[in-house]
Chain A
Amino acid sequence: DIQMTQSPSSLSASIGDRVTITCRASQSISVYVNWYQQRPGKAPNPLIFAASSLQSGVPPRFSGSGSGTDFTLTISSLQPEDSATYFCQQSYSMPWTFGHGTKVEIK
């Protein structure tokens, strides 16, 4: 199985800060990484697919990049509603696997 290692596991940032979350795959997975946001008590909300494509309706302050084994999710200017846990997921080969999540808190 492909392991997805996310870092950091949590972070605290101020409104307006640039936030970067990384995800490393245990083998090369081309661009087959997707990102999801999960607010407490809610279902995950898709953000990014195929490493860098924005899902419909997602604010442009969210962006993704990377290929091969290293991927990043960037929030260009952190907003209060971005307080959530973020998960990466590989869709290169089954079983689909997720990172353990990064909890983003607002200072």
Chain B
Amino acid sequence: EVQLLESGGGLVQPGGSLRLSCAASGFIFSSYAMSWVRQAPGKGLEWVSSIDNSGGRTYYTDSVKGRITISRDNLNNTLSLQMNSLRADDTAVYYCVKEKKKARDGFDSWGQGTLVIVSS
């Protein structure tokens, strides 16, 4: 059974930093691209970032470019999201998401999410 367990969320002041982690199990982690998707309170879903299976290619939505870095450790089956220069509009639940094997087939497993609150 695929399991994705996020951690690292919390309250941070504007301009601060936070590092999210996602521990993956139940599948061959190094074979799948992974993503982060966020959801602001009471709002819809927003794709944040993706990384290919090897970690060689990364992708970001425009609003986080230069502030957020996605990375992975295929030896320890861990996905990370380093978030710097945080803003109030980064406040959201952040989901670790596993992509389907075939490119463009969307996401097939979601973690339970970790809440990030950016506020003074």
Contacts and interface: CB of A to CB of B under 8 A. Distances in A.
Is B one of A's binding partners? yes
Interface of A: 32, 34, 36, 43-46, 49-50, 53, 55, 87, 89, 91-92, 94-101
A55 B95 CA distance: 19
B49 to A, nearest CB: 10
B59 A91 contact: no
B27 interface: no
7 contacts: A49-B106, A89-B45, A91-B105, A92-B104, A95-B47, A97-B47, A98-B44
Contact of B108 (A55, A97, A98): A55
A91 B33 CA distance: 13
A87 B44 contact: yes
Nearest to A87: B45
The interface size bin for chain B is 20 to 34
A44 B47 CA distance: 13
Nearest 3 interchain pairs by C-beta: A34-B106, A96-B47, A43-B110
B100 A94 contact: no
Contact of A46 (B46, B47, B108, B111): B108
Nearest to A94: B59
Contacts of B105: 34, 49-50, 53, 91
A87 B46 CA distance: 11
Given A49-B105, A49-B106, A55-B108, A43 B47 contact: no
B61 interface: yes
B45 to A, nearest CB: 4
A98 B47 contact: yes
A32 B107 CA distance: 12
B37 to A, nearest CB: 8
Interface in B35-91: 35, 37, 44-47, 50, 59, 61-62
A21 to B, nearest CB: 14
Contacts of B110: 43-46
B44 A89 contact: no
A59 B57 CA distance: 35
